[in-house]
Structure 1
Amino acid sequence: MNAMNILKQLMNQASGSQPGTGGGTDINRMVGNLASQFGGGGSGGSGSGGIDVKSLLGGGAVGLMLGSKRGRNMGGKALKYGALAGVGVLAWKAYQNYQAQSSGPVADNARQGQPLEQLQGSAQDQRGLEILQAMIMAARADGHVDANERALLTQEIEKLGPDDELHAWIQQQFDAPLDANALARSADSPQASREIYIVSAVMIDDQNPMERAWLDQLANALTLEPALARELEKQVQVAAGV
């Protein structure tokens, strides 16, 4: 399945390089720093730390997932969606901050798994599926994806060119029950769990009780420490310059 190709296009929809479009974190710089930590170059999965708000509000698959067609007040919240372009590096930074503040034993980084931007080949494709699944479930968390909206979203995703296998998989995600435990089981590493959570935090409106409840349920299913979950959400805000 061409999952990473689709995910990268979705990330590009959520990110931009226009001057003055916000973004408090230089994602490209962070990816470069991360690459030096892991001894390799980035795989091209990330974009700019800014956000092209005009493109986002204009529609596209990400715009529909984020609920712009439901009349959600995007306002300043739109800025945080640029974090989608650096989900792996932001999740890793949150983990580092959490470890620095923790009084417990230092975890073995080698067992944490690599960030999305550092993965290659089938490992990156698998992580891409996990993140796409998290995005779709978060988009459904408020229970308002009706048949018409699903048709519109499917149409926008089709424009991105999914292969037949991925197309069928995406439709299955819309039909599947909202199950935080099932999503958590798909995580292939602790880093994957953090990325699943951070992309979900990006997608939801935490002022919506149903969406906030979904995020809390997911944190529990992923067995994230409350302090780590807070740090992951903080990184979303930092990336938005909030």
Structure 2
Amino acid sequence: MNASQIFQQVMKQAGGQGRSQDSAQSGSGSGVKDMVDGLSRQLSGGGSGSGVDMKSLLGGGTLGALLGSKGGRKMGGKALKYGAIAGVGALAWKAWKSSQQSSSGDENGENDGADRVEVLDGDGQERRSLELLKAMIMAARADGHIDEDEQALISGQIEDMGADEELSRWVEQTLKEPLDAKALASEADSPQAAREMYLVSVAVVDEQNPMERAWLDQLGSALELGDDVTAELERQAQQAG
């Protein structure tokens, strides 16, 4: 499979979308405003067709497909958390270090963040990329509203990014298998992987949605992260935007 190649592209998409948001919020450019205006027109019946074309509003790409109908809700209340995806490894490590400030020493023997997804290579990066892609897909499904058309959109977007046949089959399977936080957590290959899995999940869900909030709580418990760490990961995600 070529999961690492695909996840690196997802991170780059997130970085690009995050810069568009920063530009719009600072007054240069109109990325977010255009998205919101377009969404408002479609919701009010001004767009063509009966559905909300989130792929168009979000600039296309796998991120738009993963966010799907969630994008409309998030745009109404807060910025999408692209930054948490673009810098997932560094932010997850920063969150852990911040949560440990009140502790003496390095309890888990982690002192350099050497297994962040950004610095892994070879089989290690491939495995971590699969873990994070799966966490994102499961989080996107947490509200139970991804239908067959949206599943096909996600699969198609990942194929367009250059997924090989094996990865494409894996994506289709992941879109259909039962939501199981414990099973997902069991795939984390290190404490850093667990933090990254939780962080990308936070980036995709709307915490105000009870079903999505419940999924985060289940995942955090299954990953055995602890309340301090999950709270700090969520804080970092919000700050990253």
TM-score by length of 1: 0.80
Alignment correspondent of 1:9: 9
Q: What are the within-5 Å matches in structure 2 for residues 25-104 of structure 1? A: 53=32, 57-68=58-69, 71-75=72-76, 77-102=78-103
In 2 relative to 1, CA 132–56 (structure 1 residues): closer, same or farther, beyond 3 Å? farther
Report the 3-state secondary structure (helix = DSSP H, G, I; strand = E; otherwise coil) of the residue aligned with 2:73.
Answer: coil
Alignment correspondent of 1:217: 218
Q: State how far apart, in whole Å, the 2-side matches of 1:194 and 1:15 are.
A: 20
The question of 1:161 aligning with 2:165 is answered: no
Q: State how far apart, in whole Å, the 2-side matches of 1:230 and 1:21 are.
A: 28
CA contact (8 A) 1:135 1:200 kept: yes
Q: State how far apart, in whole Å, the 2-side matches of 1:76 and 1:144 are.
A: 19
Give, in angstroms, the shift of residue 76 of structure 1: 5.5
CA contact (8 A) 1:112 1:190 kept: no
CA contact (8 A) 1:22 1:79 kept: no
The question of 1:183 aligning with 2:180 is answered: no
Q: State how far apart, in whole Å, the 1-side matches of 2:60 and 2:69 are.
A: 7
Report the 3-state secondary structure (helix = DSSP H, G, I; strand = E; otherwise coil) of the residue aligned with 1:74.
Answer: helix
Which region of structure 1 is more displaced relative to structure 2, 56-65 or 190-199? 56-65
The question of 1:114 aligning with 2:124 is answered: no
Q: State how far apart, in whole Å, the 2-side matches of 1:147 and 1:10 are.
A: 22
In 2 relative to 1, CA 122–209 (structure 1 residues): closer, same or farther, beyond 3 Å? same
Report the 3-state secondary structure (helix = DSSP H, G, I; strand = E; otherwise coil) of the residue aligned with 1:213.
Answer: helix
Q: Deviations over 1:20-68 (max 9, x none)?
A: 2469xxxxxxxxxxxxxxxxxxxxxxxxxxxx65586233221121124
Give, in angstroms, the shift of residue 69 of structure 1: 7.2
Unaligned runs of 5+ in 2: 36-55
Alignment correspondent of 2:149: 148
TM-score by length of 2: 0.80
Q: State how far apart, in whole Å, the 2-side matches of 1:168 and 1:107 are.
A: 36
Unaligned runs of 5+ in 1: 24-51
Q: Deviations over 1:69-124 (max 9, x none)?
A: 77434246334222201000000000100111236863311697611111111101
> Match for 2:23: what amino acid?
G
Q: State how far apart, in whole Å, the 1-side matches of 2:6 and 2:231 are.
A: 29
> Match for 1:59: what amino acid?
G
Alignment correspondent of 1:232: 233
> Match for 2:13: what amino acid?
Q
Q: State how far apart, in whole Å, the 1-side matches of 2:208 and 2:190 are.
A: 30
> Match for 2:201: what amino acid?
S
Q: State how far apart, in whole Å, the 2-side matches of 1:121 and 1:105 are.
A: 28
Alignment correspondent of 2:174: 173
The question of 1:20 aligning with 2:23 is answered: yes
Alignment correspondent of 1:36: none
In 2 relative to 1, CA 69–208 (structure 1 residues): closer, same or farther, beyond 3 Å? closer
Which region of structure 1 is more displaced relative to structure 2, 56-65 or 110-119? 110-119
Report the 3-state secondary structure (helix = DSSP H, G, I; strand = E; otherwise coil) of the residue aligned with 2:179.
Answer: coil
Q: State how far apart, in whole Å, the 1-side matches of 2:69 and 2:61 are.
A: 10
Alignment correspondent of 1:198: 199
In 2 relative to 1, CA 21–3 (structure 1 residues): closer, same or farther, beyond 3 Å? farther
Instruction: Report % sequence identity.
Output: 55
Alignment correspondent of 2:138: 137
Give, in angstroms, the shift of residue 211 of structure 1: 0.3
Bigger Rg, structure 1 or 2: 2
Report the 3-state secondary structure (helix = DSSP H, G, I; strand = E; otherwise coil) of the residue aligned with 1:116.
Answer: coil
The number of equivalent residue pairs is 212
Which region of structure 1 is more displaced relative to structure 2, 132-141 or 149-158? 149-158
CA RMSD between the two structures: 2.4
Q: State how far apart, in whole Å, the 2-side matches of 1:222 and 1:73 are.
A: 26
